[in-house]
Structure 1
Amino acid sequence: MYLSVFIIALISTLCQKNLVKAQDDNQHLTYSIKTEWNGEPIKHQPTNITISVNSEGSLTLDIEATFFNTTNPNAELVNEAHCPQRPTDHIYIYEVVEAFFLNDAGDYYQLELAPNGQYSNHLFSGYRDRLLFTLPMFGMEPVVENNCENSGIDKEEECVWTARVTIPREFLPKDVTKFNAAAIHNEFVEGERITRYEALYPTGEDVIEADFHYFEAFQEIDLTSIAFSTKTEPELWTQAKSEDQFITRDFKLTRSFDCLKEKSEDSIFHTERGEGHLKLNVSIINKSPFKANIPEALQASGTNEELFNDLYESAWVTFSNARGQSLRVGLNPYGTYQISLLSNGEIRKNIVLDEPLDCKPFEQLSWACQVEISNDLFPMNVTQFQMVHYHTPLFNETTNERDPENEIIATICPGTLEGAEREIDWVGCETENRLFVDDKTNAVVSQVWAELLTETTTVTDIPDTTESTETSQSSDGAGN
């Protein structure tokens, strides 16, 4: 009798294990890139991509790929090993793995990931028609494991790097139906660089060069088979495809600039594009038993040119272009503000607003302020931005002594590009201007900047107002 019970229990257990295994097998999709873009077989281990859904319901990609050591040799990587890399455009020129998610309307999302941790996220609406580019993945940055560079590469033995990417739901278009993936690397033959383009689904014979955006090469994918739905269009897509593109975003600062501290308070920078301006709302919610001892000189509503020199409790946003021109906006709980136009780090002009900031009463360490920033104040062709919350110095309410353990200087783009000597990188992450300012408006020098440059530079230093952002956003080859 006991033997019968044991056998029945054993069979039940084995069946249960098989059932669990079958369920697990049905919870992911696995792909291997085994061919070049034209269907020719590759000559190394394939790139493997596994798509699954994590415990939080987000779509996750696991990547295994051969390392060829041809990532961007001039990459400006974040030096701190404990900080994630930042979004960077044009990494497809070197060595990347890419994934594309397409719907029947021609909307698609492209992910690019390099073995050094750099990444790019792009939204398209129509063949190669850029909607939003170089989107950051704050708090969800790819995790890359690559020990190949440290150990060196034996040409007789391939080295593999791995990565896990959690894709924000808002990046995926509505009703994803098709998928493709690609891998790009370079080889050096007799000193000449040769780029290899590899595709999960190769293009047909009618295509004469690599093109990973070629819709006809995509094949069907059913994300519902792994319990993931794309039936509704994310607000980011709806706003980006609208004619006015009044895009709203919440940026939550969760780490210190050096990634050594996690924030205990909520610091949310809300941006909303409007007609002719960007509305910025800073909201700080803190319940810790500390107080910010802000000097009396910085407790008056209105502009104060010393706000940046005395960085007490305050919030800052900076928008910069490739010419070193920046718009920097700072404000504190009392409505004190400083809005500056800078060139190569030097203040060229401070702006005085017609109206005071809209701020809620400052209670403990919780506060909120709102300001409207005119499009005219943005430098031409914004390419980078940074957000900073100074939560320092802090004092214990009971002892009135400073408490550095709970102080934090948080940034939306953590890390420094110039090493430990520089505390904060005020330039920040690479992104496109459409998140913050009208693209066509930002493609020319505004009247405010034109007057400023005329006053402070020679005529030959004034940027060409006919230049377009299309220069920095041009399509090049298969990757973009």
Structure 2
Amino acid sequence: MEFRIEHTWDGLPVNHEPARIQLKPWVEGLLMEVNAPFFDDPPAPPGEPGKPFDKLWDYEVVEAFFLNDRTEQYLEVELCPHGQHLLLLLSGRRKPWKQELALTCEVDRKETRWEGRAYLPWSYFPPCVNKFNAYAIHGSEARRTYEALYPVPPRDLQEGQQPDFHRLEYFKPFHFEDVMGKGWKQPESDLWKHFLCAK
């Protein structure tokens, strides 16, 4: 299953080859592959490659969000071309309850493009994921660019509006069966089960 991020957050076509995200089966979860332009702007985060980095969204990233729209529980995955990553588990819009989770990931960076692979265990996904969106961010200051797989529709844009990747109402339907095969059932997550029991 492949997604192409072809628009800015407010619906304008991007002016470069779009970032692509592929989702594939993996024995312990989902393999997320990124193939995207490398802008090298802003410079690399001051963190160790292969490790979580807080506020990675301030740098060059490609992001994927997996949502249960009935509970507003979701997994946010961020990959950076310099090798850092950030995973957040959220319950409620912009309400993380666990972040900087461990992740096995690889990045291969060339002069103008980069590829990333992230191995996402099933325990990171909230129950009953049924919506998805993806984003790409790059550039500094006036050149800062926010791109969205499913942008805000033109009818909903308001003067002075800023990009907001937690507008869950614009996410679109998503089914793991389309990746894993018909009849497949999402495994129960010990992480989310513990969170739900602790509430």
Fold match (TM-score > 0.5): yes
Shift of 1:123: 0.3
Q: Which residue of 1 aligns with 2:128?
A: 175
Q: Which residue of 2 aligns with 1:401?
A: none
Q: Which residue of 2 aligns with 1:76?
A: 47
Shift of 1:212: 1.1
Q: Which residue of 2 aligns with 1:160?
A: 113
Q: Which residue of 2 aligns with 1:147?
A: 110
- Is residue 2:173 matched to residue 1:220? yes
1:235 to 186, 190, 197: 190
Give matches, 1:362-401, under 5 Å: none
CA contact (8 A) 1:203 1:216 kept: no
Amino acid aligned to 1:109? L
Q: Which residue of 1 aligns with 2:77?
A: 111
* Count, aligned residues: 192
Amino acid aligned to 1:185? H
Name the SS of the counterpart of 2:143 in structure 1.
strand
* Alignment partners' CA distance in 1, 2:91 and 2:188: 13
Name the SS of the counterpart of 1:92 in structure 2.
helix
* Alignment partners' CA distance in 1, 2:173 and 2:63: 17
Q: Could you give the per-residue CA deviations for residues 259-298 of structure 1, whole angstroms, max 9, x where no partner exists?
A: xxxxxxxxxxxxxxxxxxxxxxxxxxxxxxxxxxxxxxxx
Q: Which residue of 2 aligns with 1:91?
A: 56
Shift of 1:194: 2.6
Shift of 1:65: 0.3
Q: Which residue of 1 aligns with 2:101?
A: 135
Name the SS of the counterpart of 1:242 in structure 2.
helix
Deviation beyond 3 Å, 4+ runs, structure 1: 71-74, 228-233, 241-244
CA contact (8 A) 1:123 1:133 kept: yes
Give the unaligned 5+ runs of structure 2: none
Give matches, 1:48-63, under 5 Å: 48-54=20-26, 56-63=27-34
* Alignment partners' CA distance in 1, 2:195 and 2:76: 16
Q: Which residue of 2 aligns with 1:201?
A: 150
**Do the aligned partners of residues 114 and 73 (structure 1) sit closer, same or farther apart at CA in structure 2, a change above 3 Å counting?**
closer
Amino acid aligned to 1:93? D
Shift of 1:225: 2.2
* Alignment partners' CA distance in 1, 2:44 and 2:173: 36
- Is residue 2:102 matched to residue 1:184? no
Name the SS of the counterpart of 1:170 in structure 2.
helix
Q: Which has the higher contact order (CA 8 A, sep 6+)?
A: 2
* Alignment partners' CA distance in 2, 1:124 and 1:230: 22
Name the SS of the counterpart of 1:51 in structure 2.
strand
Amino acid aligned to 1:32? R
* Alignment partners' CA distance in 2, 1:171 and 1:72: 29
Amino acid aligned to 2:53? T
Report the TM-score when normalising by structure 1: 0.38
Name the SS of the counterpart of 1:225 in structure 2.
helix
Shift of 1:52: 0.9
Identity of aligned residues (%): 33
* Alignment partners' CA distance in 2, 1:74 and 1:174: 32
Shift of 1:181: 0.2
CA contact (8 A) 2:47 2:84 kept: no
Q: Could you give the per-residue CA deviations for residues 445-478 of structure 1, whole angstroms, max 9, x where no partner exists?
A: xxxxxxxxxxxxxxxxxxxxxxxxxxxxxxxxxx
Shift of 1:73: 4.0
Shift of 1:114: 0.4
* Alignment partners' CA distance in 1, 2:29 and 2:173: 20
Q: Could you give the per-residue CA deviations for residues 200-243 of structure 1, whole angstroms, max 9, x where no partner exists?
A: 00013435221111111100111112226554431111212333
* Alignment partners' CA distance in 2, 1:164 and 1:76: 19
Shift of 1:134: 1.2
Give the unaligned 5+ runs of structure 1: 1-28, 79-84, 149-158, 245-480
**Rg bigger for which structure?**
1
Shift of 1:147: 2.5
* RMSD after superposition: 1.8
Shift of 1:131: 1.4
Name the SS of the counterpart of 1:237 in structure 2.
helix
* Alignment partners' CA distance in 2, 1:233 and 1:71: 38
**Do the aligned partners of residues 30 and 147 (structure 1) sit closer, same or farther apart at CA in structure 2, a change above 3 Å counting?**
same
* Alignment partners' CA distance in 2, 1:240 and 1:88: 23
Q: Which residue of 2 aligns with 1:37?
A: 9
Q: Could you give the per-residue CA deviations for residues 173-216 of structure 1, whole angstroms, max 9, x where no partner exists?
A: 111101000000015xxxx5431000000013435221111111
Amino acid aligned to 2:88? H
Amino acid aligned to 2:156? D
Report the TM-score when normalising by structure 2: 0.89
Amino acid aligned to 1:170? S
* Alignment partners' CA distance in 1, 2:59 and 2:80: 8
* Alignment partners' CA distance in 2, 1:168 and 1:232: 10
Amino acid aligned to 2:5? I
CA contact (8 A) 1:184 1:197 kept: yes
2:67 to 98, 102, 124: 102
Q: Could you give the per-residue CA deviations for residues 70-91 of structure 1, whole angstroms, max 9, x where no partner exists?
A: 244451335xxxxxx2111111
